[in-house]
Amino acid sequence: MNSNTTHSFTLLVLFFLFFSCTSTSKKSAQYASETLKIEQINPNVFMHVSYLQTNDFGNVPCNGMIYFNKDEAIVFDTPTNNAVSKELINWIENEQKKTIKAVVVTHFHVDCLGGLQEFHNNDTPSYASNATLHLIKQDVEKEVPTHSFKTVKELTIGEETVILKFFGEGHTSDNIIGYIPNEKALFGGCLIKSLKAGKGNLEDANISQWSKTVESIKKEIPELKIVIPGHGKYGNTELLDYTIQLFK
């Protein structure tokens, strides 16, 4: 084997090793079971998906968001029950070696807080708006978040700011969003629809205000790169545009 051939062979081996390590790293940040899926969107932002059995829509996949910074994490919306929340907490704290600093409930429906008790068992502080707290307290079977705020709350995860904000009514009268400025990432929850989705559950909706609320989000945060809806595939600002048109 001549020197050129040896050099080429060495480069090929190095490339293969690099690719293998990269693939393994990406794979380690994903998770899938029958009850929980975790999808990595970028190095720090993940979408968790659990399932809710409903009478009207069947077994519905329900989204939440996870954000990592340094050794800390925040979770937006819990999985749909405590067993799956335990599964998610185990993945974050034991597999990813992050400390969960907060869990956020974006509105009062069960697909946002069905697994909240398990986070409280884990001594994780939970946050919701005053309006959400009021609505949750009307149902004695629902776990109540430990902290509340009026319209805006800023939290620090690692070294970065996370913003919780109420922009207006839509899916419910209390729906808030979570925004991570450093990542240009928005968790819209059920206020935001995935592309081609229908209008969904309108039992507690304010249809006349829904488009205006999302227009306010788009105006205040126009540079979004990641938008995660309450159900369906994540995307970008196209999801805001789609939701605005759907309810106009």
pLDDT (tens digit per residue) in 5-39: 444 444 444 444 444 444 333 445 689 999 999 99
Decide if 146 is inside a domain.
Answer: yes
Whether 198 has a pLDDT exceeding 60, the answer reads: yes
Decide if 17 is inside a domain.
Answer: no
- The answer to whether 161 and 155 have CB atoms below 8 angstroms apart is yes
- Each residue's pLDDT tens digit, 67-84: 999 999 999 999 999 999
| Cβ burial, residue 174 (10 Å; 0-12/13-18/19+) | buried
Decide if 4 is inside a domain.
Answer: no
Tokens of 119: 């986070």
Decide if 28 is inside a domain.
Answer: no
| Lowest pLDDT segment from 6-15, 96-105, 131-140, 160-169 | 6-15
Domain count, the chain: 1
pLDDT at 54: 87
β-pair type (45-54, 58-69) = antiparallel
pLDDT at 22: 41
The Cα 245–Cα 201 span in angstroms is 17
Helix intervals (H) in the chain: 3-28, 82-90, 110-113, 116-121, 130-136, 207-220, 238-246
User: Which of the 8 DSSP states describes residue 182?
Assistant: G
Q: Which residues pair with 167 in a beta bridge?
A: none
pLDDT at 5: 47
pLDDT at 24: 35
pLDDT at 55: 86
Decide if 29 is inside a domain.
Answer: no
pLDDT at 2: 54
Tell me the residue range of the domain where 173 lies.
35-246
Global pTM reads 0.89
Decide if 5 is inside a domain.
Answer: no
pLDDT at 18: 45
Average pLDDT score over the chain: 91
Classify the C-alpha dihedral 122-127-133-139 as positive or negative.
Answer: negative
Classify the C-alpha dihedral 182-119-205-194 as positive or negative.
Answer: positive
Decide if 193 is inside a domain.
Answer: yes
pLDDT at 1: 54
Decide if 71 is inside a domain.
Answer: yes
- Each residue's pLDDT tens digit, 210-227: 999 999 999 999 999 999
The Cα 17–Cα 35 span in angstroms is 33
**Domain of residue 115, CATH code:** 3.60.15.10
The Cα 185–Cα 47 span in angstroms is 11
- Each residue's pLDDT tens digit, 88-113: 999 999 999 999 999 999 999 999 99
Three-point CA angle 74, 75, 81, nearest 5°: 150
